[in-house]
Amino acid sequence: MFQYLSAMPADPILGLLTKYRQDSHPQKVDLGVGVYKDPQGNTPILASVKTAEKFRLDTETTKVYIGPTGSASFNELTSALAFGCEHPALNAGRIRTVSTPGGTGALRVAADFIGRCKPGATIWVSDPTWANHTGLFQAAGLTVKTYPYYDYQNKTLRFDDMLATLKTVGKDDVVLLHACCHNPSGQDLTVAQWDQVVALTKDCGFMPMIDMAYQGFGDGVDEDAYGVRAMAAAVDNMLLASSCSKNFGLYRERIGACSIIAKDSGQADVALSVLLYVVRCNYSMPPAHGAAIVETILGSAELKAQWLEELKVMRDRINGNRAILVEKLKQNGVDRDFSFIARQKGMFSFLGIDEQQVATLMQDYSIYMVGSSRISIAGISEDNVDYLAKSIAAIL
């Protein structure tokens, strides 16, 4: 059987991790995978997470199956985090949430769910989007099309072009939007732009799906959920895939959530039954550990306050790194305007250099980034920013 296979290329993002780990250059810089790093280049376990884990170790009494929905308490608390406690769709019983293995698990069950609504449905993704979106949706049998999003030349949003394309989207199509911290561009919609997209979605009647992988990394947990909340209040049907990988630093625990927003409670129950069928056929039920940590934190006023503070430290450090890089590039005599990096949000920005320059930075300077020149801002530190800025200046 295996003779029919041909090898797949390494994943454009995860493949960098292996290359970086094998590199022995003393000044190597990892700007590849979107993982938070502290000033020392470590990805520590949050103190709030450690406390919650200890609590779980002391109080857990069974490892019995948890069921395809995952933990009810996690589902309730993460829904409140995403939509806000008093969201009208929550109050009306229109939302159902299941725990998933990470944000990717949420996207995959959402994609399979869409396939159950309409086999082979078309999903529109931003150009560009997270490298894994396209493969994941195609693997679920969906047709992937793109709408204009990032203006590589001017480092801005192609908002008018985006709206013009979205106006042509069919009623039975799905449009994927990034809630915040657009991956890979860092270019987010403003509140006013969200309002326009929400109004257009309502008018056109296509189904929105929102990917929220970085809640709290942009402007704050509530600010970053503006689009999610506005959209859920305006439309009959919507999907949300969210992740606890980055904001709780739980990457390898694989915990996220998939929410469906239906027209009314009855339709939500039907939709949930389909979602649970999809989950059961896929991975049966989600892992429990990450969900237990998150629900312990969100369920305790004290731990939640501590977590929000830790999240702010991560957010402020990333924003600080953006400003430092722009400044250091100037100091190193780069006259190209990189100020857009300081204006963008979240973990990523494009440097805006070509593939050859990206390859030179990797081969000659041991600086790793995705081929599109997407950099993970969290990989910048006081220790490496001079070397990074000098190297970029050299290849420009």
- Residues that bind ligand LMR in the complex, under the rule CB under 6 A: 13, 33-34, 130, 132, 183
Give the Cα separation of 350 and 370 in Å (integer): 9
Catalytic residue among 30, 112, 173, 211: 211
Residue with nearest beta carbon to ligand LMR: 34
Main-chain phi, psi angles of 220, to 5 degrees: 155, 165
| Angle between the N-to-C axes of helices 265-282 and 102-117, in degrees from 0 to 180, rounded to the nearest 10 | 110
Candidate list 130, 173, 307, 328, residue with the active-site label: 130
Whether the CB-CB separation of 47 and 72 falls below 8 Å is answered with: no
243 membership: H or E segment, kind and range: strand 238-243
Nearest approach, Cβ of 135 to ligand LMR (angstroms)?
A: 11
To ligand LMR, the closest distance from the beta carbon of 61 in angstroms equals 33
Q: Output the smallest distance, CB 305 to ligand LMR, in A.
A: 27
Q: Which is nearer to ligand LMR, 136 or 308 (CB)?
A: 136
CB nearer ligand LMR, residue 206 or residue 251: 251
Q: Which residues, other chains included, contact 229 with Cβ-Cβ below 8 Å and sequence gap of 6+?
A: 83, 84, 87
Shortest Cβ distance from residue 59 to ligand LMR (Å)?
A: 31
Taking each continuous run of H as one helix and of E as one strand, the counts in the chain are 16, 13
Alpha helices in 177-300 (DSSP H): 191-204, 221-224, 226-234, 265-282, 289-298
Known catalytic residue: 211?
A: yes
Q: Which of 30, 112, 124, 246 is catalytic?
A: 246
Run of H or E including 95: strand 95-100
Looking only at the bridges linking them, the beta strands covering 122-127 and 143-148 are: parallel
- Look up 145 and say whether it is catalytic: no
Nearest residue (CB) to ligand LMR, 11 versus 161: 11
Q: Which is nearer to ligand LMR, 90 or 241 (CB)?
A: 241
Residue 162 C-beta: closest distance to ligand LMR, Å:
21
Catalytic residues: 130, 211, 246
